[in-house]
Structures are given as structure tokens and as C-alpha cells.
Amino acid sequence: MTADPAERYWAAVSRNDTHEARSVATSLLREGVPMPTVLEGLVGAAQRRIGELWASNDWSVAREHAATAVSEQVVRSLREEQARLAAADRSVGADRPLLVVCAEREWHALPAMMLSATLEHAGHTVQYLGADVSTTALQGALLEAAPRAALVSASLSSSLVYVRRHVEAATSVAVPVVVGGSAFDRDGVRALRLGATAFAASAADLESTLAALPTYVEPVGPLRDDAALEAYAIMAELPSFSADAVARVRSDAAADAVAVEAIADQVPHVFGSVAGALLTGDSTIVAEITEWLDGVGRARAADTTTTQAVWSAVERQLGEFPHALDLVRSR
Ligand code: B12
């Protein structure tokens, strides 16, 4: 057996051995390796590798799910272990928790769970609400928990419109909002446009951000420019736009059926990302999603006509939205 914990962890995750994965990770924590190092070196590295293996078509969606389920169990165990080890040492912010939530429809819960573990390591009290937190659920939690801040996690650019709703909900009751996750650019341009109180590019950067947060904030004003209104209208029509576009991709694309399905599966994410680009005024989102979709297609031996079929179908649905069409056509 290899002695390198990261390799042992990866071997365990890739054969769905929760017991071994948990044992590698919790042993490091007990030996005194800091939580953020364990998380980044084992879990983060494994999750990124899983993402690459799915994108390159080496791993199925089912395998990706199974491996992620192992990592989720591990992070849960690490949080429990840490709570046990540090039970006597809870001081920072113990009275008002930090509320950690995913945007609505955002299923990438593990990044938010890892963030929660890192915050707890720094002594913060955390209330972690998990994936797909609706605005209504957030409103309830804001009233019940009276948090010091709401921390909103989004991994997908198609979640940015939903992030904005959380910003509105939190600031409407004066609670500061910090946003983060891979949906955001490193300079925080998207976060600023969404009206977040602050942005942190990583869990490590968060401590100084939290220290500088105001106690109370003003409610954000509405986003009412034409591009924002298009973004909201696209999200409202997302199910029907996606269904029509998927049907068109299936009939127009020339690649084999499995490849076409894998690409058609991404259509709601493509529409949501266009809406995210409109709301944040950041056209790089559309460029990024174009490059990413081409990669997904290439790995499945679908020629560019398949991804082109997606963009043609998307354009067709966006006929009434001039700002969206501009974005898609100039990508
Ligand atoms: C596991 C996984 C899933 C799981 C999630 C289950 C779960 N329990 O989390 C499932 C199967 C549900 C899933 C679904 C999808 N996924 Co996915 N997924 C992943 C994967 C492999 C790992 C995610 C993860 O665990 N990351 C953990 C670490 C690595 O994330 P991290 O962002 O570095 O997190 C840190 C920081 O960002 C920061 N942070 C995070 N949040 C916040 C918040 C604040 C306030 C702060 C300060 C910091 C902070 O702290 C974290 C810890 O250090 C990624 C690959 C990847 N590279 O992440 C793809 C990935 C994110 N998924 C992707 C896609 C496309 C999807 C789907 C759209 C696919 C589909 N068509 O169904 C759906 C969307 C579902 C939805 N609506 O949310 C793409 C996104 C591509 C893109 N460029 O847009 C990726 C990159 C895969 C790929 N290589 O193509 N996915």
C-alpha cells in the first residue's frame, strides 16, 4: 500500500471505500494536520479529479455520484471529529452563527460543507443548511438563527440569478452576505454586481473578509436594467426553453445518441449561464461555458456540429431577448 495519504485517499474514493477514506482523513486530523490542509489536500484534490474524469468521459455520472458520496461522508466525519477535539475551545462568535447555504437549485453542497468545516476550525459557530436552499427556507433561517452573516455558495454560473435572490433576502433583514464558490470570477466582479456585501475567492481568504464585515447592511436596490429583466424572464421560462431546445438538439445533432444526450443534458445550465452573464454584465461567462461545452463534446467524440446545435437551439429560444442574443452571438 502506498504511504502517501493523498494517494491512499484517492484510491479509497475511487473504489467507493468510505471506511478507508474516512480513516485516512480523520487520522491526519488526529495527528494535528490542520482541517483546511486535510480538506484541500485530500477532498478538494479528489473532487477536482472526479470532475475532470467526468468531463473527459472516463467516468460515468453514476461513478461521479458514488465517489462524491464518499467524500461527503468523510467531510461529515471530519466535522464531528473536529468538534470532539475542539469541544473545550469554542469562543469566536459563539453567540451569533454564520449561516452557510447553497443558492437555490445549486446541488454542489460539498464545497459549502468544506467551507463550514474550515470556519469551524477557525472557531466560528456555523449553521450549515446544505444544497438547494430556497429563498423561503433562507428567510426562515435568517429570522430563527439571527446570523452574523449569510455565506452563499455557488459552483455554477447558472446559479448566479439565484444567488441574487439570496442577497436580496439577507440584506432585506439587514444581514451581510458573503458570496463565493467556482461560479465567481477571482476579482469579485460578479459578486459586486449581484450586490453582495463581500466576496472571498477562497475559504482561506474569508477570515479577513469576515473581520471587515459591517454589523448591519442596507437592503440592496432592485436590478431593473433591460439585461437584468431579460435574465429574470429567461429563468422564468427555463423549463419550457430547455425542453424545446433539447428536442431540437436531439433532432439536429449528428453524433451518436449517448454523446448527444450527454450534451443535451447541459442545456439548462447553458441557459442559466446566459442569464447569469446578463445579470452580472459579465460576458466572460458565455465564453467560459462555450469552451467548457466544446470540451465535453470533444471528449465524447461529438464533432463541433453537436455543440453548435446547442447554441442554435438556444439562440432560437432567445429570439425576444436582444441582450441575450448579442451575448450568445458574440461569444
Ligand atoms: C460532485 C459534483 C457534482 C455533484 C454534486 C454533489 C454534491 N454533494 O456536492 C452532482 C452530481 C449533483 C453535480 C451536478 C452537476 N454538475 Co457538478 N461537479 C461535481 C464536481 C465533480 C465536484 C464538486 C465538489 O465537490 N467540489 C469541491 C471543491 C473542489 O470545490 P471548490 O469550488 O473548490 O470549493 C471551495 C471554494 O470554491 C470555496 N467556496 C465554495 N463556496 C464558497 C462560498 C463562500 C462564501 C466562500 C467564501 C468560499 C466558497 O470553498 C470551497 C472549499 O475549499 C465538480 C468538479 C469541480 N472541479 O468542482 C463538478 C462540476 C462543478 N459540475 C459541473 C456540472 C456541469 C454539473 C451539472 C450542470 C451537470 C448536469 N448537466 O447535470 C449538474 C448541476 C446540478 C446543479 N443544479 O447544481 C461542472 C461545471 C462546469 C462549468 N464550467 O460550468 C463541473 C466543474 C464538472 C466539469 N468538470 O465539467 N455535480
Segments making up each domain of the chain, as ranges: 1-87, 90-222, 226-329
H runs (alpha helix) in the chain: 5-14, 18-30, 35-38, 45-55, 61-85, 110-121, 135-145, 160-172, 189-193, 206-211, 226-236, 238-252, 257-264, 267-280, 284-299, 304-317, 322-329
pLDDT tens digit string along 167-184?
999 999 999 999 999 999
202 lines ligand 1 (CB under 6 A): yes
Q: How far is it, in rounded angstroms, from Cα 225 to Cα 204?
A: 35
Contact present, 227 and 276 (Cβ < 8 Å): no
pLDDT computed for residue 90 by the predictor: 56
Question: What pLDDT is attached to residue 2?
Answer: 55
Report the CATH superfamily, name and number, of domain 1-87: Methionine synthase domain (1.10.1240.10)
CA distance 328 to 318: 9
- Going from the Cα of 181 to the center of ligand 1, the distance in angstroms, rounded, reads 9
Phi, psi of 179 (to 5 degrees): -115, 155
Chain centroid to Cα 68, Å, comes to 14
Residue 89 has pLDDT above 70, yes or no: no
Which one-letter amino acid corresponds to residue 36? P
Q: Which atom of ligand 1 is nearest to the CA of 113?
A: 52
Q: Tell me if 276 CB under 6 Å of ligand 1.
A: no
pLDDT at residue 101 is higher than 80: yes
What is the per-residue pLDDT for 3? 73
CA 234 distance to own-chain centroid: 20
Q: Whose CA is nearest to atom 36 of ligand 1?
A: 181
Residue 208 phi, psi dihedral angles, 5° rounding: -70, -35
Confidence band, pLDDT 50/70/90 cuts, at residue 264? very high
For the CA of 71, the closest atom of ligand 1 is 25
pLDDT > 90 fraction of the chain, expressed in percent and rounded: 87
pLDDT of residue 1: 47
Looking at residue 256, what is its pLDDT?
83
Rounded to the nearest whole angstrom, what is the distance from the C-alpha of residue 90 to the centroid of ligand 1?
Answer: 30
Ligand 1 atom nearest 114 alpha carbon: 52
Q: Is the beta carbon of 50 within 6 A of some atom in ligand 1?
A: yes
Q: Which atom of ligand 1 is nearest to the CA of 157?
A: 84
Q: What is the mean pLDDT of residues 133-143?
A: 98
Question: What value does the mean pLDDT of the chain take?
Answer: 94
Cβ 152 vs Cβ 112: under 8 Å: no
* Three cell numbers written together for 113: 460543507
Q: Is 155 in the pocket of ligand 1 (CB under 6 A)?
A: yes
**Atom 1, ligand 1: which residue's CA is nearest?**
68
Report the CATH number of the 90-222 domain.
Answer: 3.40.50.280
How far, in Å, from the CA of 108 to the mean position of ligand 1? 5
C-beta of 112 in contact with ligand 1 (< 6 A): yes
pLDDT band at 254 (very low <50, low <70, confident <90, very high): confident
What separation in Å is there between the alpha carbon of 68 and the centre of ligand 1? 10
Residue among 138, 261, 136, 13 at smallest CA distance from 127: 138
Inform me whether the pLDDT recorded for 145 exceeds 90. yes
Q: Is the pLDDT of residue 92 over 60?
A: no
| Residue 166 CB–ligand 1 contact under 6 Å | no
**Model pTM score:** 0.96
More reliable by pLDDT, 283 or 260: 283
Average pLDDT over residues 74-88: 88
- The pLDDT of residue 87 is 67
CA of 320: how far to CAs of 187, 250, 272, 273, 279, in Å?
Answer: 32, 23, 16, 17, 17
Identify the pLDDT of residue 258. 87
155 CA distance to ligand 1 middle (Å): 5
